[in-house]
Structure 1
């Protein structure tokens, strides 16, 4: 298992992922960071946990809209040029998301 340090809203986070998935995790983290920074610009500083939650809800809403547009439960997401689009079926992505979720929960327990 590899560990990648990603930066979200100016703070570093160590994330575990499957070997070979490091670049993919960096790309996903950069996309998430963009959403977190947009939420922060819209609502101001409300704490990292709330910013992360709001950004996750924005992403969930976008995913829901894509699924509704497709008319099925499939996710046919288009990624920015040069980026790899996430596929829930690929090993390592779910693992990375679980690691991020665990990290967020640990941070929340410390508040």
Structure 2
């Protein structure tokens, strides 16, 4: 477990993190610090705790929105998979129907050729 110092709302905090996560934790702290600074610019000095809570609420709001978007996208992916499976099934059915139609046509052509060979060709094969 590694430890780093982060600055949030002008105060330093010693934080523990997994090895290799130091840069990520620093960026998260910078993002929160930026949000607090932005809120301070909008509302002035309304108290450190209040600014921190407001920043946390804006992060939570974005998280809820992102989670909802992810759920909607997951549902869309499921729907698209269902459409793809249905289309694939239709393609397979169409291929079978076309193959059967071609085989039937080939059989009719072969029978017609045999009849023509017997009646018209006088023993000379046609085709």
| TM-score, reference length from structure 2 | 0.51
Give the corresponding residue for 2:67.
67
Structure with higher RCO (Cα < 8 A, 6+ apart): 1
Q: Give the corresponding residue for 2:41.
A: 41
Per-residue deviation at 1:3? Answer: 1.3
Counterparts of residues 14-29 of structure 1 (less than 5 Å): 14-29=14-29
Secondary structure of the structure 1 residue equivalent to 2:19: coil
1:19 CA drift (Å): 2.1
Long gaps (5+) in structure 1: 75-111
Q: Distance in 2 between matches of 1:18 and 1:54?
A: 28
Distance in 2, matches of 1:66 and 1:60, equals 10
For 1:21 and 1:71, the matched residues in 2 are separated by 27
Question: Following TM superposition, where does structure 1 have runs of at least 4 consecutive aligned residues deviating by more than 6 angstroms?
Answer: none
- Cα distance, 1:71 vs. partner? 3.2
Residues 9, 52 of structure 2: 8 Å contact kept: no
Aligned partners of 2:15, 2:48: CA distance in 1, in Å?
16
Higher gyration radius (CA): 2
Specify every segment of 5 or more residues in structure 2 that has no aligned partner in the other structure, as ranges. 75-127
Aligned length: 74
Question: TM-score with structure 1 length normalisation?
Answer: 0.57
